[in-house]
Amino acid sequence: MKTLTQFVINSTHTQITRGKSFTVLLNTFENAARIISAHVRKVGLADLLGVSGDINTSGDTVKKIDVFANDLLVQMLTDSGQIFRLASEELETVIKTTHTDAPFDVYIDPLDGSSNTDNAGSLGTIFSIYERQATDTLPSGNKQVAAGYILYGSSTMFVYATHEGVQGFTLDPSTGCFIHSHPDLVMPEEGTIYIANEANSPNWHKDILLFVQKLKVEKKCKLRNAACLVADFHNTLVGGGVFIYPGDKRNPDGKLRLMYEVNPISFICEISGGKAITNKKNPLDEAPIDLHQKVDFLIGSKKLISLFTKLPEDAIT
């Protein structure tokens, strides 16, 4: 089997104009993933448990491991020389590097699901890659040239998508290499799970309540929730199903971040054959209005998502 580095070097990535630079950039994410994975494995031994005392731009309590992952990725990505703009969920504003001729802009969620650190749950890193934008206007998700995530679970997986397809790699701890374990990932058209925080159901709108009822009754779906978008989406990508994080009466705009979570995960989903929805339309067509904008989000297997899109108009209240 090929390693991640070998696979990227031998791939054409025809829609990415700076192939060598893209290889260097993915290699940087790969190296960062190894380091974060190692620290996640010993988080309880390395004084990385607990909160830092800070609140990030989205109003979330920042964990110590959040700070570590963010600082590491910002430093390594900046040092790679391949990016001009870098934005992180943990930072208030966009960083402009000194690499004025760099070909890419990158958006990252350094550590998704960090509330799981104290109970040894799954964590993840999400990244989104754009050809360098001519202006500071935030790009819509359909301008992504690549996106990916790293899952720190029972194994460490590196999954990335370009317009040529979705590829999955598993970290071999004996060699330190990411091995091409999941070639050409395709999301099943149906599935048997739905992923949601059903404790929020008293605040859900009528359409979500009806949708979940259809999933249970018509499709016999079972509830799952890892409290980590990366882990939950990976489950959906591999086995089929649907992930639901809607806007509700308390959070009408939803809680997931368009630039750091929804756009990259939607890109991977659509390339794999799945479907994503926000505000009743494709999130990749959404024009961002704020760096930390939040949106409602439904994503998963096409035939399950179609149950939602075909709901009668009087159910959408």
Q: Which residues are annotated as catalytic?
A: 60, 66, 89-90, 109, 111-112, 261
Residue with tokens 């969920």: 89
Q: What is the dihedral of CA 250, 56, 123, 251, to 10 degrees?
A: 10
Question: Hey, how many other C-beta atoms are within 10 angstroms of the C-beta on 285?
Answer: 12
Kindly report the length of the chain.
317
Residue with tokens 């990535």: 13
Distances (CA, A) of 272 to 9, 167, 237, 298: 22, 10, 8, 16
Separation between Cα atoms, residue 169 and residue 180, nearest integer Å: 4
Separation between Cα atoms, residue 304 and residue 295, nearest integer Å: 20
Separation between Cα atoms, residue 156 and residue 175, nearest integer Å: 13
